[in-house]
């Protein structure tokens, strides 16, 4: 078995039998290890388990799933390269045709949405001044002295 297949097979699952969904719907809440879900990157680390709440509603030949995801992240600012911490809250909705299906596993779809929701250029704060292009000093800590404005 290759490494990718091993990682996928060890990934925790949010899986449900379709017949277990009552007419009024079913809500599940789970905590997932972000490492086991392969969510970590060099610049983004979930600091604790990721909490996932999924509400399953059965329709005629489909199941609609409303998902809420929350967690705590450590990121690297794209301007000043400092590490900072922030919360993560994501909301997603999925629809699945289930005619002839016995079970539904939404784990990979949740994982994919979290990955797509990663910030492309995270900022420690909206007005982050970044680094001096000449000396590399963090301009959030004050002017570097390279030029009167502290920036080349």
- Tell me: pLDDT of 24 over 80: yes
How many Å apart are CA 6 and CA 143, to the nearest integer? 50
Q: Where are the domains of the chain?
A: 3-121, 128-152
How many Å apart are CA 17 and CA 24, to the nearest integer? 15
For residue 80, what pLDDT is reported?
96
Average pLDDT over residues 75-97: 95
Render pLDDT for 95-123 as a digit per residue (tens, 0 to 9): 999 999 999 999 999 999 998 988 889 99
What is each CA distance from 34 to 12, 78, 133, in whole angstroms?
A: 10, 22, 35
| SS3 of residue 54 by DSSP | strand
For residue 41, what pLDDT is reported?
82
Average pLDDT over residues 47-73: 95
- What is the band of 147 on the pLDDT scale with cuts at 50, 70, 90? low
- Tell me: pLDDT of 79 over 80: yes
- Tell me: pLDDT of 152 over 80: no
Average pLDDT over residues 3-20: 65
For residue 29, what pLDDT is reported?
94
For residue 11, what pLDDT is reported?
59
- Tell me: pLDDT of 35 over 70: yes
Mean predicted lDDT score pLDDT of the chain:
87
How many Å apart are CA 144 and CA 119, to the nearest integer? 28
Give the DSSP letter string of 109-141.
Answer: HHHHHHHHHS-SS--SSTT---B-TTT--BGGG
For residue 149, what pLDDT is reported?
54
CA-nearest of 56, 83, 54, 53 to 70 is: 53
Joined tokens for residue 78: 């794209």
| SS3 of residue 143 by DSSP | coil
Joined tokens for residue 15: 């899986």
For residue 148, what pLDDT is reported?
59
């Amino acid at each position: 078995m290759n490494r990718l297949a091993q990682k996928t097979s060890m990934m925790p699952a949010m899986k449900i039998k379709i017949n277990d969904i009552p007419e009024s719907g079913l809500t599940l809440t789970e905590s997932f290890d972000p490492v086991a879900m392969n969510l970590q990157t060099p610049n983004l680390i979930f600091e604790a388990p990721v909490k996932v709440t999924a509400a399953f509603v059965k329709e005629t030949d489909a199941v609609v799933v409303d998902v809420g995801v929350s967690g705590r992240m450590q990121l690297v600012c794209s301007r000043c390269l400092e590490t900072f911490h922030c919360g993560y809250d994501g909301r997603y909705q999925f629809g699945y045709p289930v005619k002839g299906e016995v079970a539904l596993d939404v784990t990979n779809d949740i994982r994919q949405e979290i990955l797509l929701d990663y910030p492309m250029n995270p900022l420690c704060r909206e007005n982050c001044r970044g680094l001096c292009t000449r000396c590399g000093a963090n301009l959030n800590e004050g002017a570097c002295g390279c030029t009167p404005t502290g920036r080349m």
